[in-house]
Chain A
Amino acid sequence: MIWTGILILFCLIGLFAYYRQLRYGLVVTHMGDYASWGIYISNFVFFVAISLVGSLVTAIFRLGNIHWSTPLTRIAEIIAVSAILFASFIIVVDMGRPERLVNLFIYGRIQSPIMWDVIVISTYLVISLLLLYLPLLPDLKILNDQKEKGRGWWSRIYVLFGGFWKSNARQERINQKAVLILSILIIPVAFCIHTVTSWLFATTYRPGWDSTNFGAYFVSGAFLVGAGAVVIAMYVFRKVYHLERYITETHFDKMGKVLVLLALIYLYFNVNEYLVPAFKMKKTEEVHLVTLFAGDFAPMFWFSLLAGLIIPAVIMLFKQGRKPLPMFILGIMVVVGAWFKRYLIVTPTLLHPFLPMEDSPERFKHYFPSWEEWAIAIGSLAGVLLIITFFVRIFPIIPIQETIAEQDATPEK
């Protein structure tokens, strides 16, 4: 209850900040004509990144015939849905004229990467919602069947969403087929959402963004932060709802190994992203890279790389590091590091334009978010957590039907 209260409070503060922004304009932010995108956009990239995990755990593992991840699918999927939902909210918050959102549909031009993003993100949201909902149907039936045992008026929600589900052979066949099709469909769409998001930057000329590496770099980073978020959620749900029987130490161990793999892939793309331009040190790149490696942004840069990527990967190489508690801490480090990483992708580049920053107000030459920006960013994070919290209160976070089927199939448990 305290937890929910705090989240709602943060959301309300965020809403109040947004009201101020609507009233006075984007001047309440500390963005300027140079840093014309700020933490709204980095937060957007962060949310899109985190949401990719839904496709990893539900689709890639499912198609790869990996069964241990079954109890984690719903955690991954609800993270995906709530994150992508708030990604779309935050992009509206960033607009100078949110009331003209409808112009995207009246005057939309398909050659703009923003239109591609609108298309793939809405597609991803729909598929993710279905992948959350369809496996939930058999579970709703189970919950409906025991509603006499008194879970109160929740049962009305179960009836509303799953009253038509009879669990007969035909329905189950359709459902399984649909989930399989969606699992295949969501993989290219997932790659698209983050590749297109990376193209919002890579289609410009600016140093630090003008990179052919960007799509793969973003997608690999996204899988890493998403997996980190799943680990955090696993630990919390396990503790709060006493799910030790379903989310076992083996799950943490295996997720640890997955994280190491993802971290290594991400590290590989980081090497490509930074060291290749650094080898050449073209003038415009040099200014950018030096501020990252040794300048104003160096502490954040090395923090996100070391604490958010290298140190967790090294610790997780050891069996002791893959126990639940260390995994929880490492998961937090990965997610926090990833958030700062997104900030570093958006902001420093904008402060290194080709022409000098002159004949512009002094305040445009630096960027640090205003309280309104922080409030909205934190409010949106709280909103994501709030959706997850409510979902877990209402619906079973462990897929009951699938887990039972899974345990029946693997007799050694």
Chain B
Amino acid sequence: MKPLLMVGWALSFGLIFQAKAETIGDFAKLNRLSQVIRGHGPTQGERAELETALRLGNGARFLETKTDQYLASDQHAFKMRVRLEELFRLKTAARLLGREGGSPSLFESEYHEKNALTYLFTEMGRQNRSWDDLLIAKDYRLFPSERFAVIQGIGVNDYGFMAALIPDLKSLSGTYSSELSNETHRDVRFSGNDPRVAGAITTSRFMTRFVTTGLNKNRKRAAEVFRVFLCDSMSAAIPSTEGKDDQIFDLMLPHDQSMTENEIRTMAQQSDSLHGSRPDCNACHFKLDPMGRTFLTSPFALSAQASPGALSFKRGQQIVKVPVKGIGELGAAITQQPEYVSCQVDHFWSWFMGSRHKLSDARRAQLSAEFDRVGRRTNDFIKILLKQPEFFELGRLMSEAEIRAQHVKTFLKKCQDCHKDQYNSNSDDGSFPDFTKWPIGGSADEMARWTRKISRAMDLAHDGESPVMPPRTAPWRTSLREVNLLKSWIADGAPDETGRRTVAP
């Protein structure tokens, strides 16, 4: 009896041990799924259900079912909305709920909750909409929020914003009449080829966030479209290659306190003109200006008249230029670019994998194909990501060399954002190398040359006392910590992630 008991005990222990190991993994999976998709952990009931499923050998099936349920939940729709608000640099719903400090006014809450953009963002997850809808959707749910229209006096509500396209909204917008609509909302749909509307970027909230002026010429809006949809961040900095920094700086930020507002505006226009005439500046303006033109007729609300422009950017050494009849065609043109697909894959990767796992070029290409295969549908692509091995992998600890290299690359990325499309008269093809791909310039010699240039430009020898870069006109400054980081990194031979020196110290 005793041996049998022993065997029984051993078997039981083995089973328990095995079950326990699996159970721990699956509970962690459930927790991660719930946290990432819904923003909170699973309920006690769900844990109990998982336990039962595991007992019956249905653990994997259960997790799959739960994934579908979570993706169909309001919490997921809300979380995707918050992700999109963060991506677009809008005030997030989480902030409005007081989770990030500060308490919103009633006006703020109403404005942020009841508008076409918030609705579209929420629908992306709720309806498993195609991600392209952010750029090509022609259907909107409009809200006649009164307070947004008149109390704050800032921008117009959805009805006022769209009233030029849908004339009967005019009398309901609050702009023309005190008699606001009794409607809570109105669903509108434009034809599929309407050149005037383009998903998220032709909403009141987007245009109110990224305002324009006669001087700015919608470049701010264009820059945001490039950043969000093509992962092309542009800085407003004016690089210092022709020794005109001081001249431009004085024009941009006049010191004379006695100047009138009009004088300052005139100075700013001169600065803009000087800025626009420089080849360095053209590196960004050849992209921003043609796209900005598509917003030309819609400075404060959406115009019924489309404004032609173009999608223009660099692909390697080639200029891609797609003429468009209006914002609507612009949105469609962007969705047809491979850069758009890989950029959106990057956003999703960052949201669902975090920074623990780097996305290699090969994986990006593979996932881009998957993105297309599922019709670019939001939840369908998320499901693909959730099945990637990295999703349930624990992040490994990074080595000191990796951390240091990552910090240096993060800093050099800021330089790269400005220099990437500029003309480099010292190179054969006129381009600057990617500072975040080492060795910079592709060889040890080039790496050495570039680290010397960086060192001089940042005046590392004097702890950054008189730097040429970033230029005085740039919106950012190098901190002493960053100076020390770059200085010690170059002094140590600019080691890469493996700790291997890329130049002789």
- Chain A partners chain B: no
